Amino acid sequence: MYRTHNCGELRMEHVGQEVTLSGWVQGSRDIGFMMYTDLRDRYGLTQLLFNEEITDKDLFEKARTLGREYVIRVTGKVIERISKNPNLPTGNIEVEVSELEILNASKVPPFTITDETDGGDDLRMKYRYLDLRRKTVQQNLFFRSRLAVETRNYLSQEGFVEVETPVLIKSTPEGARDFVVPSRMNKGQFYALPQSPQTFKQILMVAGFDKYFQIVKCFRDEDLRADRQPEFTQIDCEMSFVTQEDILNTFEGLTKYLFKTVKDIDLPEFPRMFYDDALRLYGSDKPDTRFGMQFVELNDLAKGKGFPVFDNAELVVGICAEGAAGNYSNKDIKKLTEWMQRPQIDAKGLVYVKFNEDGSVKSSVGKFYSEEDLRAWGEKFDAKPGDMLLILCGETEKTRKQLNELRLEMGSRLGLRDPQTFKPLWVVDFPLLEWDEETERFHAMHHPFTSPKKHDVERMLNGDHETMKALRADAYDLVINGVEIGGGSIRIHDRELQSKNFKLLGFTPEEAEAQFGFLLGAFEYGAPPHGGIAFGFDRLCTVMSGQSSIRDFIAFPKNNQGRDMMIDAPSDIHDEQLEELSLLVNIKEE
C-alpha cells in the first residue's frame, strides 16, 4: 500500500496515528540532527520530520540524499508541531518518519516547481509534465474540469442529451480551413475534422432529439494567434421548437449557474444590446461593458467650423477619459498618438480636449474651435472638470475600430477593467450577410445555416441586392468583459430558404447539393424549427478565471507553429504509411 492518507488531509485529530504517505519532495531544511522535508501531492503539503535521535542512522543518511522532486513513500507517526504554520491546512502537525522508501529519484528540474516559476515559455512547454506540477497550472485545469462537470449537471437537468457526433467527417470549403485525414480504404479521398458539429446537431433536431448538447473538440487549420489553438473545445447545444428568446434564457441560466456554483457570484439579468448599437457606442460587436466611456459622435458640432480634417471625415467620434486631463502632458499625448498610429491600429491622428480642474479648456484643435465650441462638445460627453476627450475621425467603420482600441487601452490605464468583475452582455440582431467588396460576394455573418428574422424571410426570398445587405438574423453572441464567449442563431429549417441562402453565398446548386445535400434532404422530411448556440469552453474557463491566455487552461497546448513541443509533433511519417495512403509529399521551393 502506497498511502493511508494524502498529503493534504492530516490534522490535529490524527496526532498519535501511524500513517503512510507518498508524494514528491518539495524541499528540505537540514538543521544538523533534524531534517524537515515538505512532501507534496495534488492535495497538499505535509511536513516530514527526520530526527536523528529517534530514527536509526541509516534512515537519516538516506533522507539526506533526497533531492527536489524525488518520489518517496514514508511511514511515521503524526505529531503536533511545536511551531505551527497557520497558512497550511496541515500546518498543525508533522510526521515523524520511521520508514522511508525512495520510489523514484529525480534529476534537478530545469525550472522551479513553484507558483511563480523561472522557466520560460519554451522550456515550460517542452517539460510540460513539470510545468503541470505547479499549483497555479493544476488549479486552472481543476477549474476547467469542475466547469465541465457543472455544465453537464445544468444541461442534463434541463433535459439536454449529450450525443457524440463524429470526428471524421467531410471537408467543406465554406468557413475556415479544414484539417483533413486521408482515407486508406477509400483511396484519394479525405475525411475532415469538424470545425463544429453544426450540421450534425441540426440533423439531431430533424431526428427529434429536441435538446442536444456536447462538450466537444473542434478543429481549425488557421494561422495561430495567442488566443487561438488548432484544436479547441466547445459547449455545443441545439434545441427544437424554440425562439431566440428561449435560447437566450436557457444559456443565460447556464452562465449564471456556472458563476454561482463555481465562483459564488450572483450575476444580475444580462443586458441586451443590438449589434448596430454595439458598433455605434463601442466600435465592436464584443464591447467590454465593465466600464462606460461610450462613443459620442460629434459630426453635428465639429463639422462646418473650418477644420478641414473633420469637415472631410465621414465620422467624427470620441470618448471621454474621466479624470485623465491632469495626467497627460503634451509628451504623454504624443506617445498615445504614436501608439494609435502603429500599423496595427493605423490612426491618422488623435485630437484631445482637456477640461482642466482649474476650469480652463485646452485642445490640439484650439485654433479651429472657440472655447464655446469645445464646451459644447464637453456637454455632449457629459465631461466634468479633470476629464479629457479623445477624438478620432475618418471613414466610419475604420474609425470606430480604431476608437475601440483606444477605449480599451484607456480603460486599462484608468484601472476600469478589473479581471474579477464580470459583465456579461447579449449582442443581438446581427446582420445575416456581410458584403465583401474585394471578392464581390456575400459571406455569412454567423454561418450559412442562420435564419433571417421572421419579418425578413419574404424580403430575402424576393428582395434585390441592396435588400440583402439589410437583412437581420436571429443571431446572437454572449460577450463577457469584451470577450466573445459564445454565439448562435435560429437556423433555417426550410429547404427553399436554405437553397436561397446557399445561392446568395455563391454556391451553385450542384455545389450545395454535393456539400450539404443530406441537410437539404433532411429538411424535406419534417424538420422542426430549431436553433442553438456554442460556447468557447477554453475562453469561458479563461475569462471566468480572470485570466487572458487560453493556453493556461489547456493541458497540452500547441505553440504558434501548431507544434506540441513536448511530444515533438507533427513529425515525419514512414514512407510505407504514405504509400498505404496513396500520397506523395511534394514540397515546393519558395
Using CB under 8 A as the binding rule, the residues of this chain from 77 to 136 that contact a second copy are 103-107, 109, 127-133
Tell me if 316 sits within 8 A of 347, measured CB to CB.
no
Three-state secondary structure of 39-80:
EEECCEEEEEEEECCCCCHHHHHHHHCCCCCCEEEEEEEEEE
Our finding on whether 169 is near a second copy (CB under 8 A) is yes
Window 536 to 555, contacts with a second copy (CB under 8 A) = 554-555
First CA to last CA distance, the chain: 61
Least separation in angstroms between residue 232's CB and a second copy is: 10
Name the segment binding a second copy (CB under 8 A); options: 54-62, 365-373, 385-393, 568-576.
Answer: 568-576
Window 452 to 511, contacts with a second copy (CB under 8 A) = 493-494
533: which strand partners? Answer: 237, 488
Window 340 to 369, contacts with a second copy (CB under 8 A) = none
CB-nearer residue toward a second copy: 41 or 277:
41
Our finding on whether 233 is near a second copy (CB under 8 A) is yes
CB-nearer residue toward a second copy: 344 or 561:
561
Going through 398-466 in order, the beta strands assigned E by DSSP cover: 424-428, 433-436, 441-444
CB-nearer residue toward a second copy: 505 or 566:
566
Q: Biggest alpha carbon distance in the chain?
A: 94
The H or E element containing residue 394 is: strand 388-394
Least separation in angstroms between residue 543's CB and a second copy is: 18
CB-nearer residue toward a second copy: 398 or 563:
563
Tell me if 8 sits within 8 A of 79, measured CB to CB.
no
Window 147 to 166, contacts with a second copy (CB under 8 A) = 148-149, 152, 156, 161-166
CB-nearer residue toward a second copy: 194 or 482:
194
Closest C-alpha to 400, from 297, 324, 272:
297
Binding mask 13-52 for a second copy (x = CB under 8 A): ---------x-x---------------xxxx---------
CB-nearer residue toward a second copy: 204 or 432:
204
Give the chain's length. 590
Our finding on whether 568 is near a second copy (CB under 8 A) is yes
Query: Hey, what's the cell of 269?
Result: 439579468
Least separation in angstroms between residue 587's CB and a second copy is: 5
CA atoms within 13 A on the CB side of 116: 0
Selected from 65, 138, 312, 508, the binder of a second copy by CB under 8 A is 138
Let me know if 89 is exposed, middle or buried by CB neighbors in 10 A (0-12, 13-18, 19+): middle
The H or E element containing residue 351 is: strand 351-355
Selected from 10, 35, 69, 410, the binder of a second copy by CB under 8 A is 69
CB-nearer residue toward a second copy: 79 or 102:
102
Q: Read off the DSSP letter of residue 562.
A: S
Least separation in angstroms between residue 111's CB and a second copy is: 11
CB-nearer residue toward a second copy: 235 or 388:
235
Our finding on whether 582 is near a second copy (CB under 8 A) is yes
Closest C-alpha to 352, from 340, 337, 368:
337
